[in-house]
A and B are shown apart, each in its own frame.
Chain A
């Protein structure tokens, strides 16, 4: 088993998914000892945590069956399909609330 597969399996584990979900809600629970300067391993791990979070959500919503988790090829293919499909949906669906984009900070004009 190579590093990437081990990393994926770690991100896929229910225990780590729970920690990930909790850490998103409670800031005092951290995934890593360091807060900044993530290593390459940590970045990849984080992206797989999101990746499997998406898959688990779709399983939970009964969009797909749990057997998708049996194989990395199934997982990647489903996510690729989902990504393309959602991209198309976005294109086809007019953005009704385009004006609702949140403006976080307005730049002050000079001499204002």
Chain B
């Protein structure tokens, strides 16, 4: 099992990347509205909440995509992938989930002890060990979750999820033209063939921050 799942170092690397400092100094500004706007290459862009029309378009896109994925025999559902991992690679997802739940329970138990110590006004030196334990358990949970995510990254569900994020970014991305906000790309194909990764990555990131699932 250890040979198959991602090496711990790699998981740590991804974890560190997540923790990387992103330029979020203007987060306070972002909270004020239910859209996020920014300037890039002398133009103004924004990502906004999807409206009813956008959601209808999104739904149709997702149904089409799902239908195309379902007929592709190379693409496996998460449950099928889990079965293959279990039978062919000796990786048991039930065991992984059990391990995660066990760690979560352990963390909660330490949290409650720490919470009680805080309510009893214990000095900070008496809290540090609990803090260390919680941090250690949390990192373990994150690492296992990342490993799990990676193993299932090519499942039908994950492919659909990535597609949904892309489609939402397309629908939510506006550009200011002649003083008016207009959808930047008329079609999803235009959006997908656009080559400026910096702009699209930023839009996708902001989109994740504002859209309600």
Q: Which A residues are within 8 Å of any B CB, using their own CB?
A: 1-3, 6-7, 10, 32-34, 37-43, 45, 63-65, 67-68, 70-71, 73-74, 76-82, 84-85
Question: Which residues in chain B, 106-141, are within 8 Å of chain A measured between CB atoms?
Answer: 108, 110-112, 114-116, 118-119, 121, 124, 127, 130-131, 134-135
Considering the complex of A and B, which 10 residue pairs feature the smallest CB-CB distances, nearest first?
Answer: A81-B115, A39-B210, A77-B114, A77-B111, A39-B34, A77-B115, A78-B118, A34-B34, A78-B115, A80-B111
Contact B119 A73 (CB under 8 A): no
Contact A7 B27 (CB under 8 A): yes
Which A residues are in CB contact (< 8 Å) with B130?
A: 77
Choose, from B17-25, B73-81, B87-95, the stretch at the interface. Answer: B17-25
A32 to B49, CA, bound (A): 15
Who on chain A is nearest to B34 by CB? A39
Minimum Cβ distance to chain B for residue A85 (Å):
8
Which B residues are in CB contact (< 8 Å) with A77?
A: 110-112, 114-115, 118, 130, 134
Which A residues are in CB contact (< 8 Å) with B114?
A: 73-74, 77-78, 81
Most buried by A among B31, B130, B212: B31
Which B residues are in CB contact (< 8 Å) with A85?
A: 119
Contact B212 A43 (CB under 8 A): yes
- Given A40, A68, A76, which contacts B211 in the complex, CB threshold below 8 Å? A40
A27 to B66, CA, bound (A): 46
Which A residues are in CB contact (< 8 Å) with B18?
A: 2
A71 to B89, CA, bound (A): 41
Most buried by B among A45, A67, A76, A77: A77
Who on chain A is nearest to B116 by CB? A81
